[in-house]
Amino acid sequence: MRRSKLLKLSSVLTAVFAGAVAALTPTAVHASTGCVTGPKLVPSCGVLWGAAAGGFTGGPRDLANKGWERESGRTATIFHTYHKGDELFPTRAEIAMTHDAAHPRVLLTNWKVAYGTTWAAVARGAEDRRIDAFAARAKAYGKRFFLNLNHEPENDVRDRRGSGMQATDFAAMYRHTVQRLRADGVTNVVNVLIYMSNEQWMAKSWWKDLYPGDDVIDWIGLDAYANAEPGYHHDLFGAVLDRGGFYRWATTRHPSKPILIAEWGAYHREHRPVEKSAIYNSVLPALASHPAVKAISYFDTKHDATGDRDISIDSTSRGLAAFRKLAASPLFNVKIG
C-alpha cells in the first residue's frame, strides 16, 4: 500500500515537472494548445509567421509567395504587400490569397497615403478623398488586416521647419488617417507602425516624435536585417531586435503593444554566398527571450534595390535546410480567428 502511494506521488510529481518544462518552452506550449488570433490579430499563444517574397523583381507577389511557401515548407500566414497613393486595394491577387481556405492568410499592407504630397498636407485634410476611397475599399474587403502607413518613415524625414516631412508631421498624418478611417466606419483595420532597425535613426533627437499615440496604434513593428558576413550589422536574431535599444524602448514605453517584425532576413552580397544557418538557428531562442514579439515576416529577394544584398533563404543548401527547420517549428502553428 505504501509503495503504491509512493508510485502515485511520483507520477504526479513527474506530470507537474513536465508541465512546468512545457510552460517554459514556447514550442511545447504551442504544440499542446490551440493558438488563434484575437480581434487585434494578436495570437493567444505562439507567433504569427509571414513573408513578402519576390521583392524588386517586378513579378507577381502572390506567385512569388506561393513559391516561397513551397520552398520553406510552411504557408506564410501573413501575406505582406505594398501600396502607395491611389493604387487599388485590395487587388484581385490579395483577395484570392486571403480567401484561400486551404492556406489561411491575413494581409499586412503598407500604404504610403502621402505619396505625391507631404505628411503635413495629409494631416491638414488635403488627401481626405484618397483616405475615404481607401476606407470604402477596406470596408468592402471585409476581412481583418494589418495596415501600416509609410513603413520605415525615418528614411523620409526632412528635419527642417516647413518641410511638411518632419517627425511631428508624420505622427500627425498617422493620427489623422486613422481617425478619418474610423469616422468612415472602418472596423477591420489593425494599425501597425513599422520602424527601421538602425542605430543612426534611433539616436536622432526627433525619433521618438514619430509615434502618434497608443490610441491609434495596435502593434509596433520593426524591419530588421542581419548581415551574414562578418562586419557591419553582423548579428544574430536577438541582437537585431535589441539594436539601438528598440525592444527595451517598445516594451517599457508601450508595454501593452505586441511587436511585429514586419520584414526580417539574413543577407550577404549578391553572388557571394555566405552561410546563414547561424542566424536562422538563433530565431527560436531569441523569440523565447523576447516574448513581446508576436509575429515575424521574412522579406525574400535575390537582390535589393541599391544595397547589393541577397536576402533569399536558398542562397546555400545548408542555409535553406536551417530555414526549413525553423519554419517547421510548432511555435508558428497559429490559426486566424
Residue-level pLDDT at 33: 58
Domain residue spans of the chain? 1-32, 33-335
C-alpha–C-alpha distance, residues 153 and 177, integer Å: 15
Q: Give 3-state DSSP helix, strand, coil % of the chain, rounded to 5.
A: 40, 20, 35
End-to-end, the C-alpha distance of the chain in Å comes to 50
Q: Are 197 and 240 in contact (CB under 8 A)?
A: yes
Helix (H) or strand (E) holding 300: strand 293-300
Q: Is 268 exposed, middle or buried (0-12, 13-18, 19+ CB in 10 A)?
A: buried
Contact 268/309 with Cβ under 8 angstroms? yes
Q: Tell me, what's the pLDDT at 131?
A: 98
Taking the C-alpha atoms of residue 319 and residue 336, their distance in angstroms, rounded to an integer, is 29
Residue with cell 504610403: 112
Amino acid at 314: D
3.20.20.80, 3.50.50.60, 3.90.76.10, 3.40.630.30: CATH of 33-335: 3.20.20.80
Q: Return the pLDDT at 232.
A: 80
- Ramachandran category for residue 245: left, alpha or beta (phi over 0 → left; psi -120 to 50 → alpha): left
Q: What is the pLDDT of residue 299?
A: 97
Helix (H), strand (E) at residue 78: strand 78-84
The pTM score is 0.89
Check residue 303 and give its pLDDT: 82
Residues 180 and 184: their CA atoms lie apart, in Å, by 6
Instruction: Please name the amino acid found at residue 94.
Output: E
pLDDT at 14: 36
| pLDDT tens for each residue of the chain, 337 residues long | 344 443 343 443 333 333 333 333 333 334 435 999 999 999 999 999 999 998 777 789 999 999 999 999 999 999 999 999 999 999 999 999 999 999 999 999 999 999 999 999 999 999 999 999 999 999 999 999 999 999 999 999 999 999 999 999 999 999 999 999 999 999 999 999 999 988 999 999 999 999 999 999 999 999 999 999 988 888 999 999 999 999 999 999 999 999 999 999 999 999 889 999 999 999 999 999 999 999 999 999 998 877 789 999 999 999 999 999 999 999 999 999 9
Strands 48-53 and 219-227: unpaired
